[in-house]
Structure 1
């Protein structure tokens, strides 16, 4: 159970960090160009979300192949584990995007 939880949190934080880091760097870039950072940060957060998910689960099509092979062979535990990795990375990327949206759309003004 511990290795599974460790891998799930790793996938979550890799995807979360990629979205957050790319968006913050886009904000720095826009400030250097004397433009408002929020539109650029939001655009990058939404666009990089898919790539963060792909990078977190391995960067290739291999996780999908593993799921397909394990389902075909009847190894549901391994297939379920791969699906959990993908879901964990998706949640991390989604939460990173939500955080950037919250920051850019006035969540800190309260």
Structure 2
């Protein structure tokens, strides 16, 4: 059980970091190129959300295969773990996007 929560926490933090880091770097690049960083941050955060989820759960189709193969054989525990990892990664990506939106509203 500890292993599940450890991996779930990493999924959350990786997805959160991908969105937050990508949006912040896009804002820096936007500032260097003399374009409005606020709009670019919001655009990139929205575009990176799904890719952050993919990166956090492994970057391949393997988690979906695990769910499919275990559920078709009647083993629900490994499939539920993979679904949990995906949910934690989604939560991290969503919270990263929400943080970027909040910073954009309050930062200027």
Instruction: Report the TM-score range of the alignment, normalised by the length of the smaller protein.
Output: over 0.9
2:3 maps to 3
What's the offset of the Cα at 1:105?
1.6
Give me the whole-angstrom Cα distance separating, in 2, the residues matched to 1:75 and 1:100.
39
Over 4 Å off, 4+ runs: none
1:32 maps to 32
Q: CA RMSD in A?
A: 1.0
Give me the whole-angstrom Cα distance separating, in 2, the residues matched to 1:54 and 1:11.
10
What's the offset of the Cα at 1:33?
1.2
1:66 maps to 66
Instruction: Give the gaps of 5 or more residues in structure 2.
Output: none
Encode CA deviations 1:17-43: one digit per residue, 9 max, x unaligned.
000000000000011012221000000
The size of the alignment, in residue pairs, is 108
Instruction: Give the gaps of 5 or more residues in structure 1.
Output: none
Q: TM-score, normalised by structure 1?
A: 0.95
2:43 maps to 43
What's the offset of the Cα at 1:11?
0.2
Q: TM-score, normalised by structure 2?
A: 0.97
